[in-house]
Each structure stands twice: as C-alpha cells, then as structure tokens.
Amino acid sequence: MKNVKFIYNPFSGENAILSDLDTVIKTHQKEGYTVVPYRISYDIEMERAFDDLDENYEYIIIAGGDGTVDTVVNCMKQKGIDLPIAILPVGTANDFAKFIGMPENVEEACNRILNSTPKPLDIGKINNKYFINVASTGLFTDVSQKTDVNLKNTIGKLAYYLKGIEQLPSFRKLNIKVDSKEIQFHGDMYLMLVFNGQTAGNFNLAYKSEIDDGLLDVIIIKAVPLKELLPLFIKIIRGEHLEGQNSLIYFKSNKISIECYEDIVTDIDGERGPDFPLEIECVHNGIKVLGINS
C-alpha cells in the first residue's frame, strides 16, 4: 500500500483547489497511490493532519499558498516528520512554488510530482519557527496579516496592494541593528527582507537567490530621502537593484542577528513572525521537495 497525505486549504485563492480535488485523486490513483485528504479548517488544529501517519505514507501534498505551506512545514518540523513534500500552488501568494517551478495547472503539477524524485532544499529558521520563502520586518510587512481573508479570496493580490496604500500615512524611519559575519548595519531603514526564495508579491527582489546553496539573501532598504527611492523602485522593476545601490544593502549569509526596539512586527510567509530580538539562519537541505525539474 502506498499512501499520500493530501493537505488542502479550501479557502486559498478563491477556493481554487475545490474544483480539482478529483484531479489530485485520479492522477495518483492511476499510479497506485491512495490519497488521504485533510481539509484545513479554522476550528481544527493542523497537528491532527498527521495523526495517522505511518510507514505506508510516501509523501505529503500541500495545496495552498505560501502561508499554508509554511504552516505545514512548521508542524512537520515540530513533530519530527521527515517525509518529502509536494506543493500545488493554488493560493493567493505562491512565491515559493513559482520559484521552484511548480505549474499552476493541478493535473500538470501532479504528473510532475509523480515523475520526480525528492530533492533536498534549504529553508529558513527565525528563532523557533521556520519559513520557506521570506521573513521580513519594517514598513508594510504586516500587510498580509491585516488583510481580510474574504477580501484576499475575492480579489487576490489586489487586496494586499489596497491594504498597503492604507498604510502610507505611517511611513517612517525605523532603527535596526543587523549583525552577521558578512556585514554589520546599525542605522535607519524602511524595510528588511531575508529570502530563502526569490520573489515577494510577484516582485523578483532576490534574483540572485539559490535554493540549495546554504545561504539566505538579505535585502535592507535604507531610510534615504524619498527622492532617492524612486530610482530604486525603477531598478527593482527592471531587476537591476542588487548592484551598486547606495539606498540598498544586499548580502548573503547563513546566520543573521537582528535587534530592533521600534513598534513593528515581523512576518514569515504572510503570517505573524516572532518578536525581536531575532536569530535567523539557513537550514541547509532542511526539507525534501518533489516536482522540481532537474
């Protein structure tokens, strides 16, 4: 017997996965797998999804956005579960799935999963939590946390942008202290992002990031005069911002310490992250993932 645990978020991406449940079961059943579904719900703990795991399970399919994948991976780490995962990108934000090249078409994604072997990939760790795509702090980093779930499911990423516009009046400098063996920064910034992936909100910000190099890609947007931010944003759109920018600090590291005494929160893959101080590290080959082209 070959079992596959299928954890799906019925609320992700305008309920996109609901019309493809049969596709997931059909494609796997053809190959001799029994799909055991678990529906994510607000009133049932995620840990219950793993109650029946035994030696008959081959891997875990996760259908949802970055936040769903992040939640499942954290639960797996807490329980010491080392099964490979596979991602069906059906959420509002699918930055990590896009980074590893997963197709949006569910049948195509399932076939790729079934015809692949597990590949070890890096993940990030921030204090006692894990993240798959990006950890951030500073201005606008809690946009996803503050955006109404129903609004996200109705108008998708536009909901994030509308919420971001609402926060423009709170635009201010933030003092932060960053320490790593590569760089030390103690000064004012607007935004800091620590990438395991490459993109955030469809913006390819960490385009030099690699998924298995044992390093995280750190971007700090310094608190420069607003007139200097416009040229930076233009370069971001062009994908030219990581070279020779006075208003931005970029480096790679496997471990970063961050202190901040401002009234700001952290965000990991669209969910609330831990409070300061922060110890962030790259867990080299921290997860095994199916469906990645060699």
The amino acid present at 198, given as its one-letter code, is Q
**What is the spatial distance between Cα 89 and Cα 230, in angstroms, rounded to a whole number?**
32
Whether residue 278 sits in one domain with residue 142? yes
Q: What is the CATH number of the domain that holds 74?
A: 3.40.50.10330
Whether residue 221 sits in one domain with residue 89? no
Residue 158 or 254, more confident: 254
Last residue of a domain, one of 84, 115, 146: 115
Q: Of 143, 111, 127, which is closest to residue 20 (Cα–Cα)?
A: 111
Q: Is residue 123 part of a domain?
A: no
Whether residue 276 sits in one domain with residue 140? yes
Task: State pLDDT tens for residues 188-217.
Answer: 998 899 999 999 877 899 999 999 999 999
Whether residue 134 sits in one domain with residue 70? no
Whether residue 152 sits in one domain with residue 109? no
- The reply to whether omega before 89 is within 30° of 0 (cis) is no
Q: How big is the chain, counted in residues?
A: 294
Residue 253 has pLDDT above 90, yes or no: yes
**What is the spatial distance between Cα 203 and Cα 35, in angstroms, rounded to a whole number?**
35
Whether residue 251 sits in one domain with residue 136? yes
- Return the bridge partners of 8, or none: 39, 63
Max intra-chain CA distance, the chain:
63
Q: Of 131, 122, 5, which is closest to residue 74 (Cα–Cα)?
A: 131
Sign of CA dihedral 97, 103, 104, 106: negative
Whether residue 85 sits in one domain with residue 164? no
Q: What is the CATH number of the domain that holds 174?
A: 2.60.200.40
Under 8 Å between Cβ of 291 and 100? yes
Q: Is residue 124 part of a domain?
A: no
Parent domain of 77 = 2-115
Whether residue 274 sits in one domain with residue 143? yes
Structure tokens at 212: 């298995």
Q: Is residue 187 part of a domain?
A: yes
Q: Is residue 120 part of a domain?
A: no
Q: Is residue 294 part of a domain?
A: no
Whether residue 203 sits in one domain with residue 153? yes
Q: Is residue 289 part of a domain?
A: no
Instruction: Point out the least confidently predicted range of 14-18, 182-186, 275-279.
Output: 14-18
**H helix and E strand count, the chain:** 8, 17
Residue 139 or 75, more confident: 75
Residue range 224-237: mean pLDDT, rounded:
83
**Pairing of the two strands 199-200 and 216-222:** unpaired
**Torsions phi, psi for 50 (to 5 deg):** -105, 10
Whether residue 41 sits in one domain with residue 12? yes
Residue 147 has pLDDT above 80, yes or no: no
Q: At what angle do helices 106-114 and 21-30 cross, to 10 degrees?
A: 30
Considering its fold, how many domains does the chain have in total? 2
Whether residue 100 sits in one domain with residue 136? no
Q: Hey, is 279 helix, strand or coil?
A: strand
Last residue of a domain, one of 50, 84, 115: 115
Q: Is residue 291 part of a domain?
A: no
Whether residue 140 sits in one domain with residue 106? no
Last residue of a domain, one of 64, 88, 115: 115
Q: Is residue 222 part of a domain?
A: yes
**What average pLDDT does the chain have?**
88
